[in-house]
Structure 1
């Protein structure tokens, strides 16, 4: 039956397994695209703190390493969904909620900075599309968490329902 707070499907039409694979695939594709942007685009990277202390190339390296870790964890998520091993979901679930919170903070911070710089349109853009991205990201995280709990429940039921060996 499951918990009433757990999702039963992805987007109302796909299985939690399919949603988990989609979340992992999107994580890989978005990370690869972001690495390409970081490497090839001439962008000015800023951090909330340490902006004057850390050289820009170090910020790029840290970002690329984090994106490579996201690719690895998303790959583990996909493998875990395919072989029904919920433990391979855990790194992605932990990283996912941290990234979701970080994305929320970044969206709010960027919008506030835009408003303070009298860039009202940019601030509205960041709030609308940034918060939409946060909601979508959180939903996909909830899909993965629901599939994790579903697999855990199935595995626990299977483990404890076996009859002991008798001679």
Structure 2
């Protein structure tokens, strides 16, 4: 197996602090690195496209939402601030991909819906993204994929109480 930056850092910590559990470096460091590599792998797909990776993720969520969604929920789902989500939604709204309207139940929030233009955009680009991601996973046996998903679910369950609302 290739030596990774995470392995080198873990080894250095282990040498300097024997007895210290360095396994989190191996796990969380790799997860961060995988996310960075994933974004880099997708970048050519979205280069020059009328939509970004982040916008696609929001439109995917809206595409399959049962009715309007509040912007705060979108921000939470994407793991970003309300301000960042507001900025992204403004861009999508200007380009006719989403609509926002005041929430009658709470005037402080807005209800967001995907438009037919936004739906067409995500329906065009997301299958391309899935095809690329499927090609990346080609060499990984189905059993390993399932084990990886299960391990990530366990980590997510353990992180949820620590991460807050």
Query: Does TM, normalized by the shorter one, top 0.5?
Result: no
TM-score by length of 1: 0.26
Greater fraction strand: 2
Higher relative CO (Cα under 8 Å, sequence separation at least 6) belongs to 1
TM-score (norm 2): 0.26
More helix by share: 1
